[in-house]
């Protein structure tokens, strides 16, 4: 059979993707869909086809567990793999190759043989210490004759990691041993990249990361392409997909659109479930949930059918101090939505919101749109960041991350920062983001019958001792639904018995007005909702967190901050 590597067309671009890449740092608008893709590590464990299902070359370490990963991927048939490259010094020890009717079904190549074909590349490869996987992949692309190489690397700059904790698209022990994280190893790696660039001046090796970790060595990827590479959903994972292609009313073009939320704590997970259920009643667009890999949500029989969880970073609030509630430490994580460049337009919704009527018309516009921060006060010069319609861009995301230490935040959180960073705002009607406080404090502007989205700022409906009015709490519980009600009740009871609340502070008894304890007529779905809303504890109990789950087969979720 023809050799897959020799059949590649070197006039086409190639995208070299290392492991540990995070989605917000990929500039999809500038990646051509005609490019070949080189991958390394355990990308087959990714939840979606983030760089397509065709992989021209897969670089793996010479270990038995790596080959097991390769064979598992082949048997699944999810990816079209051209060639597998490693140091196949003793392939018989790994049980190689896979054959079907006596013919090999995967092309196996020794990257050492490939790099040795060119003297300049060979000199870099044999220079001590052993070359890192990045140098190997770039050297392989140059040895095959490619002249346009786009590097997307997961090993980001220290300045970026100081404020951002990325969530790689896939994490697996297969990636270990392919690359060292020490500063000395990094210096040899940069020296190898520099030597390859000097040896092949006719080749364009471009830095494809939005945050430019190779700014001193590689030219940036600057030009947007007419037909960019886009991720697609894996069919075996089910779910609604990553976006819906729509025909916006204003410019007539077709755009990929989705709703987006984020959470990293149990309370906001329940909020996202209720949000997804409420959204599904009025919209067919999917809801993407940015969730850090470090967080595991409570075990459920199934997530809402319109919600897809994707890895999202944690971005620390630089203004956070010990005087703040712990839940404000990572509120800047929502900045990652500005970097979801595989979408043409998105509508961001905080996880403590409920959709009452369709918001799909927000996909028709362009630029940044948000509603004024109307609550107890009418802040006409400030928008509320709980609902934002925007056109994501890697350039915008990089600018925001670069401004975190320089821009003042009036409220010490993400909302104040975004109001300082974004000055061109299309103002939405308050009905698009109705803070519950506004219903009582400023009823002249809107009422519940006109509200498109209800926002539970401050006290949350999932809290055991919430200060919200009973009818608002019941409305949220009705959207949560009966399917997961027993799981939610067990979680909430455990939280009430815990000496520290989810925001890291001791729960304080709240006074409940007699009118708030009076039960009103429940919404449809009723009896279970009423029972939950009426179970308002009146005293604290002894710690009981580690044994909150009754079924021993289910995993106890870690304590996390909301």
pLDDT, tens digit, for every residue of 422-463? Answer: 999 999 999 999 999 888 878 777 788 889 999 999 899 999
Please report the pLDDT score of residue 547 as a whole number. Answer: 33
How many other C-beta atoms can be found within 10 angstroms of the C-beta atom of residue 329?
A: 18
Would residue 210 be called left, alpha or beta, if left means φ above 0 and alpha means ψ between -120 and 50 degrees? alpha
Q: Taking 70 as the threshold, does the pLDDT of residue 52 lie above it?
A: yes
Mean pLDDT confidence for 183-210? 92
Taking the mean position of all CA atoms in its chain, how far away is CA 137? 26
CATH for the stretch 14-220:
3.90.1480.10
At 203, the pLDDT band (50, 70, 90 cuts) reads: very high
- What are the structure tokens assigned to 392, written together? 């994501």
Phi, psi of 93 (to 5 degrees): -70, -20
d(C-alpha 154, C-alpha 292), whole Å? 16
The answer, yes or no, to whether residue 200 has pLDDT greater than 90, is yes
Whether residue 253 has pLDDT greater than 80:
no
What confidence tier does 147 reach under pLDDT thresholds 50, 70, 90? very high
User: From CA 213, how far away is CA 228, in angstroms rounded?
Assistant: 22
Lowest mean pLDDT among 42-46, 116-120, 184-188, 233-237: 233-237
Evaluate if residue 195 carries a pLDDT over 80.
Answer: yes
Higher pLDDT, 389 or 525: 389
Mean pLDDT (the chain, rounded): 82
Q: Are 207 and 218 in contact (CB under 8 A)?
A: yes
> pLDDT by residue (tens digit) across 392-426?
999 999 999 989 888 888 887 899 999 999 999 99
Say what the pTM is.
0.84
Q: Per-residue DSSP letters for 409-427?
A: -TTSSHHHHHHHH----EE
Q: Please indicate whether the domains covering 14-220 and 242-547 agree at the CATH topology level.
A: no
pLDDT of residue 367: 96
Hey, which residues does 347 pair with through a beta bridge? 259, 389
* Burial label, 92 (beta-carbon count in 10 A; 0-12, 13-18, 19+): exposed
What pLDDT score was predicted for residue 512?
Answer: 38
Cβ count near 518 (within 10 Å): 9
Whether the CA torsion 329, 484, 473, 447 is positive or negative: it is: positive
In whole angstroms, give the CA distance from residue 392 to residue 11.
31
The ranges assigned to domains in the chain are: 14-220, 242-547
- Return the ∠ at Cα 535 (arms to 532 and 538), rounded to 5°: 155
Residue 250 has pLDDT above 50, yes or no: yes
Beta-carbon contacts of residue 162 (< 8 Å; ≥ 6 apart): none
Of the candidate CATH numbers 3.90.550.10, 3.40.50.2300, 1.20.1440.230, 3.40.50.970, the domain formed by 242-547 belongs to 3.90.550.10
Residue 43 and residue 17 in contact, taking contact as beta carbons nearer than 8 Å: yes
């Amino acid at each position: 059979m023809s050799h897959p590597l020799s059949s590649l067309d070197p006039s086409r671009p190639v995208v070299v993707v290392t492991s540990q890449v995070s989605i917000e740092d990929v500039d999809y608008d500038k990646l051509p869909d005609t490019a070949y893709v080189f991958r390394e590590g355990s990308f087959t464990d990714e939840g979606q086809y983030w760089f397509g299902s065709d992989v021209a070359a897969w670089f793996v370490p010479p270990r038995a567990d790596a080959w097991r990963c390769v064979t598992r991927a082949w048997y699944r048939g999810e990816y079209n793999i051209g060639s597998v490259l490693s140091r196949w010094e003793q392939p018989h020890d790994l049980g190689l190759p896979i054959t079907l009717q006596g013919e090999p079904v995967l092309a196996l190549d020794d990257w050492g043989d490939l790099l040795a074909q060119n003297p300049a590349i060979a000199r870099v490869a044999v220079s001590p210490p052993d070359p890192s996987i990045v140098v190997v992949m770039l050297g392989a692309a140059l040895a095959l004759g490619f002249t346009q190489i786009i590097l997307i690397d997961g090993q980001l700059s220290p300045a970026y990691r100081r404020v951002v904790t990325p969530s790689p698209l896939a994490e697996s022990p297969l990636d270990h041993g392919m690359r060292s994280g020490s500063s000395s190893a990094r210096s040899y790696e940069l020296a190898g990249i520099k030597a390859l660039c000097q040896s092949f001046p006719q080749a364009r090796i471009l830095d494809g990361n939005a945050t430019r970790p190779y700014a001193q060595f590689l030219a940036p990827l600057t030009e947007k392409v007419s037909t960019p590479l886009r991720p697609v959903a894996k069919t075996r994972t089910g779910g609604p997909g990553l976006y819906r292609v729509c025909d916006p009313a204003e410019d007539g073009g077709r755009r990929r659109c989705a709703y987006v939320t984020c959470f990293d704590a149990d309370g906001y997970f329940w909020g996202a479930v209720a949000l997804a259920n409420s959204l599904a009643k009025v919209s067919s667009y999917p809801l993407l949930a940015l969730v850090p890999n470090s967080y595991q949500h409570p075990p459920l029989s199934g997530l809402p059918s319109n919600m897809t969880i994707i890895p999202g970073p944690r971005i620390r609030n630089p203004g956070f101090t010990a005087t703040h509630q712990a839940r404000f430490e990572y509120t800047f994580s929502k900045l990652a939505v500005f970097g979801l460049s595989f979408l043409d337009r998105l509508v961001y919704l905080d996880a403590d919101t409920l959709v009452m009527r369709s918001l799909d018309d927000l996909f028709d516009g362009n630029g940044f749109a948000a509603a004024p921060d109307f609550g107890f006060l009418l802040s006409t010069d400030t928008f509320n960041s709980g609902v934002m319609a925007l056109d994501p861009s890697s350039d915008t995301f990089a600018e925001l991350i670069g401004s975190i230490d320089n821009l003042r935040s009036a409220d010490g959180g993400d909302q104040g920062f975004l109001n300082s960073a974004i000055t061109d705002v299309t103002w939405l009607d308050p009905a698009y983001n109705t803070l519950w406080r506004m219903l009582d404090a400023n009823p002249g502007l809107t009422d519940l019958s006109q509200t498109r989205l209800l926002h539970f700022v401050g006290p949350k409906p999932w809290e055991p001792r919430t200060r919200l009015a009973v009818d608002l709490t019941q409305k949220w519980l009705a959207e949560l639904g009966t399917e997961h009600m027993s799981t939610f009740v067990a979680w909430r009871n455990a939280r009430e018995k815990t000496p520290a609340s989810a925001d890291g502070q001791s729960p304080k008894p709240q006074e409940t007005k007699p009118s708030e304890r009076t039960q009103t007529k429940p919404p449809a779905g009723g009896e279970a909702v009423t029972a939950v809303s009426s179970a308002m504890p009146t005293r604290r109990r002894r710690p009981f967190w580690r044994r909150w789950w009754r079924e021993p087969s289910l995993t106890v979720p870690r304590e996390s901050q909301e």
